[in-house]
Amino acid sequence: MQFRYKRIVFLTGAGISAESGVKTFRDAQGLWENHKVDEVASPQGFSRNPVLVWTFYSQRRLQANSVQTNNAHTALADLLHIYEKNNLQAALITQNVDTLHERAFGALPSKHFIDIHGTLSRSRCTKCNKLFSDRWAYFDGEGKIIEDHADHLWSNAILQTLLTMPRRNSLGLPLSPCCSDLLRPDIVWFGEKPLGVEKAIEHLTHCDLFVAIGTSGNVFPAAGFAAVARKAGAHTVCINLESPENAHSFHEHILGPASEKVPEYIGKL
Ligand code: OAD
């Protein structure tokens, strides 16, 4: 097998999951639904009203469970597996928390996968920061405690929780098995540091191809990754429905829906 590029970095944003039915951030009715961002996506919001925040993320976990990966997620997962098998390096950095890349990897998770904004499929102890695989929905849409996790909601084998059900406090909030302190979603909130940036920069400064998919190029540090890769000598490609904010960082633009354009582009690599 011949590979034109030996070290690839893919960066994905909400647009790659749009055709799976996940709303993008900059849609008119974006992902924050009827909530102010600082109420549900900031450490201060969580301190003020953890039930509201867990209600919001419970709904997002249920939504993530109800959508399916599309051809773009699958094509990327397949390419990462092929590269790993051939001792080449393809890294996938995602800003999405929707778990669809993880699900497309299936039983073979990639060594080079970085979810810089966290994921809906992990919780974190607020005391010691220990991470737990956790996909439970703790509250219904009205903020009422879901006592029984109704197995039918978790029928997909990949979505089966790996954590024995955490204990709850009197408000129904989940407590960490390690410290018996509050668990929070392992999501990067406003004002918090993205995850794995050093590792991402290491990949970016050594890659020969950088491909951004379905991201508007508005939010840093990810919006600066194309420029870093380009400066390091990589060919930079953008696959998006429209031209992104950071369009000048790309050598090549492919306009169109991710589920069509990503498999097409990957097929030519
Ligand atoms: P955005 O909602 O900002 O941008 C989505 C991009 O995908 C837009 O440029 C759309 O044109 C494009 N798009 C929509 N449908 C598409 C399709 N079917 N195929 C290809 N492209 C499509 O989402 P992100 O760039 O991911 O951060 O947003 C970045 C970050 O902003 C998010 O991770 C979030 C938000 O603040 C945090 O939560 C920390």
Q: What total number of domains does the chain contain?
A: 2
Residue 204 and residue 229 in contact, taking contact as beta carbons nearer than 8 Å: yes
Domain residues for 37?
Answer: 23-66+118-187
More confident residue, 65 or 160: 65
- Active-site residue, 35 included: no
pLDDT at 162 (0 to 100): 43
Q: Answer whether residue 150 shows pLDDT above 50.
A: no
pLDDT at 136 (0 to 100): 86
The pLDDT tens digits of the residues spanning 171-188 come to 999 999 889 999 999 999
- Residue 156's pLDDT band (boundaries 50, 70, 90)? very low
3-class SS letters over 150-193: CHHHHCCHHHCCCCCCCCECCCCCEECCCCCCEEEEEECCCCCC
The pLDDT tens digits of the residues spanning 74-100 come to 999 999 999 999 999 999 999 999 999
Q: Are residues 251 and 224 in the same domain?
A: yes
Q: Beta 118-125 vs 131-133: how paired, if at all? A: antiparallel
End-to-end, the C-alpha distance of the chain in Å comes to 11
Q: Are residues 59 and 130 in the same domain?
A: yes
Q: Answer whether residue 141 shows pLDDT above 90.
A: no
Atom 23 of ligand 1: nearest residue by CA position? 14
Q: Are residues 142 and 76 in the same domain?
A: no
Look at residues 81, 94, 74, 70 and name the one whose alpha carbon lies nearest to residue 19. Answer: 70
Q: Region 238-259: what's the mean pLDDT? A: 98
Atom 3 of ligand 1: nearest residue by CA position? 216
**Which of 169, 187, 205 lies at the terminal end of a domain, its last residue?**
187
Q: Are residues 129 and 31 in the same domain?
A: yes
Atom 26 of ligand 1: nearest residue by CA position? 13
Residue 94 and residue 101 in contact, taking contact as beta carbons nearer than 8 Å: yes
Look at residues 111, 50, 43 and name the one whose alpha carbon lies nearest to residue 81. Answer: 111
Distance 88 CA to ligand 1 centre (A): 28
**Which of 159, 187, 215 lies at the terminal end of a domain, its last residue?**
187
Q: Are residues 56 and 128 in the same domain?
A: yes
Q: Are residues 230 and 161 in the same domain?
A: no
Q: Which atom of ligand 1 sits closest to the CA of residue 241?
A: 21
- Residue 2's pLDDT band (boundaries 50, 70, 90)? confident
pTM exceeding 0.85: yes
Pocket probe for ligand 1: among 20, 24, 38, the residue whose CB has the most ligand atoms within 8 Å is 24
The pLDDT tens digits of the residues spanning 33-73 come to 678 888 999 999 999 999 999 999 999 999 998 999 999 99
Q: What is the dihedral angle through the alpha carbons of 37, 58, 163, 131, rounded to the nearest 10 degrees?
A: 0
* Mean pLDDT lowest among 47-56, 133-142, 246-255: 133-142
- Residue 12's pLDDT band (boundaries 50, 70, 90)? very high
Q: Answer whether residue 131 shows pLDDT above 70.
A: yes
CA distance 241 to 93: 19
Q: Answer whether residue 217 shows pLDDT above 50.
A: yes
Distance 61 CA to ligand 1 centre (A): 19
Q: Answer whether residue 152 shows pLDDT above 60.
A: no
CA distance 221 to 189: 14
State the CATH number of the domain containing residue 80: 3.40.50.1220
Atom 25 of ligand 1: nearest residue by CA position? 215
Q: Answer whether residue 249 shows pLDDT above 90.
A: yes
What six digits make up the tokens of 35?
A: 């909530």
CA distance 173 to 171: 6
Q: Are residues 1 and 79 in the same domain?
A: yes
Pocket probe for ligand 1: among 219, 238, 239, 245, the residue whose CB has the most ligand atoms within 8 Å is 219
**Which of 187, 210, 243 lies at the terminal end of a domain, its last residue?**
187
- Residue 151's pLDDT band (boundaries 50, 70, 90)? very low
Q: Are residues 90 and 61 in the same domain?
A: no
Distance 164 CA to ligand 1 centre (A): 34
Averaged pLDDT score across all residues of the chain:
90
Q: Are residues 172 and 125 in the same domain?
A: yes
CA distance 136 to 57: 10
- Ligand 1: residues with CB < 6 A are 13-15, 18-19, 24-26, 95, 117, 188, 214-216, 218-219, 240-242, 244, 257-258
Q: Are residues 160 and 257 in the same domain?
A: no
State the CATH number of the domain containing residue 139: 3.30.1600.10
Residue 244 and residue 215 in contact, taking contact as beta carbons nearer than 8 Å: yes
Q: Are residues 74 and 157 in the same domain?
A: no
Q: Are residues 205 and 140 in the same domain?
A: no
Among candidate residues 73, 117, 149, 203, the one labeled active-site is 117
Q: Answer whether residue 155 shows pLDDT above 90.
A: no
Pocket probe for ligand 1: among 187, 240, 253, 259, the residue whose CB has the most ligand atoms within 8 Å is 240
Q: Answer whether residue 260 shows pLDDT above 60.
A: yes
